[in-house]
Amino acid sequence: MQPSARYTLLFAAAVCIVCSVLVSSSAVLLRDRQVENQLIDRQKKVLLVAGLMREGEPLAREEVRRRFSESLEPHVVDLETGAYVEEVDPDTFNQRKAARDPARSRTAPENAARVRRIPNQALVYLLRSEGAVDAIILPVEGQGLWSTLYGYLALEPDTRTIRNIIFYQHGETPGLGGEVDNPRWKDLWKGRLAFDESWNPKIAVIKGRAGTPEEDPYRIDGLSGATLTSNGVTNLVRFWLGQHGFGPYLEATRREATAALPGPLRVAATKREVSRR
């Protein structure tokens, strides 16, 4: 005996309702675990660029938390003023989500990195050693050839010297633009200078080979066969170091460091800063 059309519809509806309840319940029950997984994943990436974790090193969650909490401080920063935003929890702040929210972001001016929206606030990390800031870690992103590259740039406390860079998500061509993942290429960034003497972003990935950091401080070897990806890396790093990115924050950091110097050193540093302008 064939079931009636009414029975078939009711049965299908019941199955859909049960499945919906199960899926919704699973999402609610697993939400805390998902948030925790996202936080641990983000902490691993920051540990990598900070030099506190090796590529491919298998770390338990507890070890990730321990290394992170012992050495790193996350802070939410107002990109326009460069000030810390103390009322926002950095552990739950989602910069990408903020950039997509018109209430928490703004349209970016035309830029070579093809960044479309800039969040009002962004997340930075301070690497501390014996209480002093040992490095400043900034999230960076921008368009390569085929994809948006997401990464972190680590600067020395002088806010000018590059300590490290990683790209943890992209869709560039393996063996070409995908060489942004190559440890040998990333090592070339160490000791280079992000800014010129007037604090204009100057670091660039060139076509061909660059000299040593001492001889050629502003240039990085290009990625063979991947000129557009190389240009994209240059553009995105310069954008986030500039006035529409972390420029105001880095400037505020330099002012604070200068203010903390003893009198004669503070006067000398201020004179150097004025002469650069």
Residue 76 lies in a domain: yes
Residue 14 lies in a domain: no
Q: How many domains does the chain have?
A: 1
- 19-36 pLDDT, tens digit per residue, is 665 555 544 444 555 667
Percentage of the chain with pLDDT > 90? 74
Band of the pLDDT at 38, cuts 50, 70, 90?
confident
Residue 1 scores a pLDDT above 80: no
Residue 17 lies in a domain: no
Residue 245 lies in a domain: yes
- 222-273 pLDDT, tens digit per residue, is 999 999 999 999 999 999 999 999 999 999 999 998 776 564 434 344 444 4
Residue 11 lies in a domain: no
Residue 60 lies in a domain: no
Residue 52 lies in a domain: no
For the chain, the DSSP string reads -PPPHHHHHHHHHHHHHHHHHHHHHHHHHHHHHHHHHHHHHHHHHHHHHHTSS-TT----HHHHHHHHHHHEEEEEEETTT--B-TTS-TTT--HHHHHH-GGGEEEPPS-TT---EEESEEEEEEEEETTEEEEEEEEEEEE-SSSEEEEEEEE-TTSSBEEEEEEEE--PPTTTGGGGG-HHHHHTTTT-BSB-TTS-B--EEPSS----TTT-TTEEPPPTT-HHHHHHHHHHHHHHHSTTTTHHHHHHHHHHHHHTS-HHHHHHHHHHHHHH-
Range of the domain at 96: 72-276
Residue 56 lies in a domain: no
- 130-182 pLDDT, tens digit per residue, is 889 999 999 999 999 999 999 999 999 999 999 999 999 999 999 999 999 99
Give the predicted TM-score (pTM) of the model.
Answer: 0.81
